[in-house]
Amino acid sequence: MNLTQLEILQLLQETGYHLTKVSARMNIVQSAVSRQLLLLEDELGAPLFLRHGKRLTGPTPLGEQILAQVSTISQAKRNIKALASDMHNNQKGILHIATTHTQAKYLLPDPISRFRDKYPGVKIYIVQSSPENLIDLLHHHQADIALCTEKVSEDPKLVIRPCYQWHHVIIVPKGHALTSGELNLERLASFPILTYSRGFTGRSNIEKAFDAAGLSLDITLAAADSDIIKTYVRLGFGVGIIAATSYETGVDDDLAVRSLADLIPPSTTKFAYLKDSYLPSYTRYFIDQLIAATHHKAFADKIDAVQGT
Amino acid sequence: MNLTQLEILQLLQETGYHLTKVSARMNIVQSAVSRQLLLLEDELGAPLFLRHGKRLTGPTPLGEQILAQVSTISQAKRNIKALASDMHNNQKGILHIATTHTQAKYLLPDPISRFRDKYPGVKIYIVQSSPENLIDLLHHHQADIALCTEKVSEDPKLVIRPCYQWHHVIIVPKGHALTSGELNLERLASFPILTYSRGFTGRSNIEKAFDAAGLSLDITLAAADSDIIKTYVRLGFGVGIIAATSYETGVDDDLAVRSLADLIPPSTTKFAYLKDSYLPSYTRYFIDQLIAATHHKAFADKIDAVQGT
DNA sequence: TTGCGTTACGACTCTCGTAAGGATG
DNA sequence: CATCCTTACGAGAGTCGTAACGCAA
């Protein structure tokens, strides 16, 4: 048994039990992969994969249990490399951040700029994806940390760290009926609504509030990002409900904004990362900095300014 | 990086950072071990061990963190082998049980005989040790499961499964003053006491009871096993306090026995094993059988018979 | 001086790559 | 017949063992 053989097992699972693809990923020929697999099965004394003729179709029960062990081994192996490289040169590295459009556009630009000033040697990749996909990216090691708002399922393999809390606001063209008068859910529900797609940026909290009030929403447009919503609000399609952080003073001054803090429960944007994975010092710094910054008075004031309008 | 190199790291820790001893354990020459260690340190780009001249004295901070990862890898490796061998031939294997004298002599003989009838191919080793040592044996993989009574510290790496509950009894020579009259802690404390050493077989519960009553014990003899206690009780040294399960009808009929169920809190004997380790099917069977047997009516009656005397 | 770890070099083992073979859809 | 996995064989890389060296108690 050696690490190469165990890597083959893991890649087999990832490629759908396809030796040829595994060999391509490992930059060696098929025959070598085939041989190593057979050698391992021989050493362990039992087949790890089911075969239709010569084709692999899936893991045996034994193979499945062993694959679970292999995944902890490969995680530990990654950690060893990360530890060493962090110790050896903690100013260089790569940081993959998985997040949604909202965070990428309105929250991250500033913290990332400051991070880049402090760690010019660290390459940053922002992987934009739908919220439901973010956690998968972590599990598949295509992202180191994820930043998301929608409720992360209780995954024992993840560490969740709350980052900041915010409220929704409505945006309407100046002069719209909703710019004056009392603002309540019932009145809001009488207008066509433009907001986030299901599973995006606190959408679940919006639904929760209206459901609790026994109201049904007429959602004219559901988008993954605030920009689309703003665009159609400007065209007069209806009332937009977006995150307070997505309203940009200076850029969005043509839109009237009113806080929904009293009507819709607050949403929390959180960091998530794999519990068993070692995070380089610069990654921990990034997380800590962002959490500190969002707890800073200036940041709170910025949100309050919008919400207090 | 390969599994051999990682094994070297682990063995270095176990041998007190001694390359020669590591090479002996691995059945290869020193020079090979030395080379592999240097190659690994070179690959990782930083030393993993501190050196006084050429002698290794301990891990560097990096080495320490990496050793932690290595231990999860080697555990997973063990699990893979155990899984395969269990699947391949689940009638053969080895079972190391770590336990104390009390369990080994009075509880285990019968269940082990029955286990051997069902699994003649499984070799059983009983590792007898002091309670405080049992958990160490698990951590050092010198035992698969431990059976002990004294409180196991809250170790997140262990699974604890309660097995059975029992009470202490006193034993005295027939005709002793304590064979008649009311039995209470105060009266008991007026006699010289013979019982278990600190840390053995529920000794802590005995102390707890007398401490709570504000009584101090005159412990004439503290032994690790019941047999020693019985011997000196027979010689008239005083009153023995032992586990009810240690009183053997037929053998100990010359001793009078009275239950302390109402005076001393009950003790629980438990199984313990490493959370991350795979237990072969026969080991799980052994545990389940023993727990089932001790919950069976006949077993409870046997204890009650002694305690009810 | 002894014990321990590192370095040098030849022998061997192991793994890879090329190439051919067999089986399935 | 195209794709995929297995088997055969020679070339190359990697590891081991012997042996000599450097260093500390």
Q: Is the CB of A55 under 7 A from strand D?
A: yes
CB contact under 8 A, B80 and A72: no
> How far is B246 from chain A, CA to nearest CA, in Å?
42
Please compute the mean of the pLDDT values over residues A202-222 and round it to a whole number: 93
Give the pLDDT band of residue A191 (cuts 50, 70, 90). very high
> What are A308's two structure tokens?
């207090």
Please compute the mean of the pLDDT values over residues B150-174 and round it to a whole number: 91
Contacts of B274 in chain A (CB under 8 A): none
Three-state SS for B237?
Answer: coil
> How far is B76 from chain A, CA to nearest CA, in Å?
5
Candidate from A3, A83, A85 with C-beta closest to B2: A3
Q: What is the pLDDT of residues B129-149, one digit of tens each?
A: 998 899 999 999 999 999 999
**Res A303: pLDDT:** 63
The answer on A206 and A128 residing in a single domain is no
Among all chains, which residue has been given the structure tokens 């992360």? A152
Q: Is the CB of A190 under 7 A from strand D?
A: no
Please compute the mean of the pLDDT values over residues A194-215 and round it to a whole number: 92
| Distance in angstroms: CA B45, C1' D20 | 28
Question: Where residue A144 sits, what CATH number does that domain have?
Answer: 3.40.190.10
The answer on B174 and B254 residing in a single domain is yes
Interface mutation target, options A69, A85, A88, A274, chain B, most CBs of B under 10 Å: A69
Residue A240 has pLDDT above 90, yes or no: yes
Mean of per-residue pLDDT scores for chain B: 93
Give the pLDDT band of residue A251 (cuts 50, 70, 90). very high
Number of domains in chain B: 3
**Res A150: pLDDT:** 78
CB contact under 8 A, A72 and B76: yes
Give the pLDDT band of residue A304 (cuts 50, 70, 90). low
Chain B residue nearest residue A1, CA to CA: B3
| Distance in angstroms: CA B28, C1' D18 | 13
In the chain, the amino acid numbered B216 is S
The answer on A252 and A190 residing in a single domain is yes
The answer on B243 and B172 residing in a single domain is yes
Chain A residue nearest residue B65, CA to CA: A83
CB contact under 8 A, A2 and B2: yes
Q: Is the CB of A39 under 7 A from strand C?
A: yes
- Alpha helices by DSSP H, listed for A15-129, are 19-26, 30-44, 61-88, 101-102, 109-118
Q: Is the CB of B34 under 7 A from strand C?
A: yes
Residue ranges making up the domain that contains B214: 168-265
The answer on A272 and A218 residing in a single domain is no
Chain B residue nearest residue A45, CA to CA: B88
In the chain, the amino acid numbered B90 is N
Count the Cβ atoms, other than its own, within 10 Å of residue A16.
10
B145 CB-near residues (< 8 Å, 6+ apart): B95, B96, B97, B98, B138, B271, B272, B273, B279, B283, B286, B287
Strand D: list positions under 7 Å from protein Cβ.
4-8, 15-20, 22-25
CB contact under 8 A, B1 and A88: no
- Interatomic CA distance for residues A113 and A220, integer angstroms: 36
Give the pLDDT band of residue A306 (cuts 50, 70, 90). low
Secondary structure, 3-state, chain B: CCHHHHHHHHHHHHCCCCHHHHHHHHCCCHHHHHHHHHHHHHHHCCCCEEEECCEEEEECHHHHHHHHHHHHHHHHHHHHHHHHHHHHCCCCEEEEEEECHHHHHHHCHHHHHHHHHHCCCEEEEEEECCHHHHHHHHHCCCCCEEEECCCCCCCCCEEEEEEEEECEEEEEECCCHHHCCCCCHHHHHCCEEEEECCCCCCHHHHHHHHHHCCCCCEEEEEECCHHHHHHHHHCCCCEEEEEHHHCCCCCCCCEEEEECCCCCCCEEEEEEEECCCCCCHHHHHHHHHHHHHHCCHHHHHHHHHHHHC
The answer on A281 and A153 residing in a single domain is yes
Domain boundary among B85, B101, B135: B85
Q: Which of A127-141, A275-289, B290-304 has the lowest mean pLDDT?
A: B290-304
The answer on B33 and B157 residing in a single domain is no
Q: What is the pLDDT of residues B227-264, one digit of tens each?
A: 999 999 999 999 999 999 999 989 999 999 999 999 99
Residue A308 has pLDDT above 60, yes or no: no
Nucleotide nearest to B5 (CA to C1'): D15
**Res A296: pLDDT:** 76
**Res A307: pLDDT:** 52
Domain boundary among B32, B60, B85: B85
Contacts of A72 in chain B (CB under 8 A): 72-73, 76
Percent of chain A with pLDDT over 90: 87
The residue that leads in pLDDT, B76 or B201, is B76
Please compute the mean of the pLDDT values over residues A236-244 and round it to a whole number: 95
Percent of chain B with pLDDT over 90: 87
The answer on A125 and A155 residing in a single domain is yes
Give the pLDDT band of residue B297 (cuts 50, 70, 90). low
| Distance in angstroms: CA B184, C1' C24 | 83
The residue that leads in pLDDT, A260 or B300, is A260
Nucleotide nearest to A41 (CA to C1'): D6
Contacts of A45 in chain B (CB under 8 A): 84-85, 88-89
Residue B117 has pLDDT above 80, yes or no: yes
Mean of per-residue pLDDT scores for chain A: 93
- Interatomic CA distance for residues B255 and B24, integer angstroms: 53
Contacts of B44 in chain A (CB under 8 A): 80-81, 84, 88
Query: Cα separations (Å) of A289 from A117, B87, B240?
Result: 13, 50, 64
The answer on A71 and A128 residing in a single domain is no
Q: Is the CB of B180 under 7 A from strand C?
A: no
- Interatomic CA distance for residues A305 and B223, integer angstroms: 75
The answer on B15 and B81 residing in a single domain is yes
> How far is B41 from chain A, CA to nearest CA, in Å?
9
Please compute the mean of the pLDDT values over residues B13-39 and round it to a whole number: 95
Candidate from A2, A45, A84 with C-beta closest to B3: A2
**Percentage helix, strand, coil for chain B under 3-state DSSP, each rounded to 5:** 45, 25, 30
Residue A241 has pLDDT above 60, yes or no: yes
Task: Give yes or no for a contact between A146 and A98, defined as CB atoms under 8 angstroms apart.
Answer: yes
Taking alpha carbons only, the member of A118, A113, A111, A121 closest to residue A88 is A121
- Interatomic CA distance for residues B218 and B201, integer angstroms: 19
pTM: 0.89
- Interatomic CA distance for residues B222 and B237, integer angstroms: 12
Among all chains, which residue has been given the structure tokens 């000033």? A117
Domain boundary among B60, B85, B110: B85
Name beta bridge partners: B58: B50
Question: Where residue B63 sits, what CATH number does that domain have?
Answer: 1.10.10.10
Name beta bridge partners: A239: A193
The kind and range of the H/E element at B69 are helix B61-88
The answer on B189 and B236 residing in a single domain is yes
Count the Cβ atoms, other than its own, within 10 Å of residue A153.
8
> How far is B73 from chain A, CA to nearest CA, in Å?
5
**Res B154: pLDDT:** 83
Residue A301 has pLDDT above 80, yes or no: no
The answer on A154 and A16 residing in a single domain is no
The residue that leads in pLDDT, A304 or B193, is B193
> How far is B247 from chain A, CA to nearest CA, in Å?
45
Q: What is the pLDDT of residues A87-99, one digit of tens each?
A: 988 899 999 999 9
Q: Which residue is nearest to nucleotide C16 (CA to C1')?
A: A32
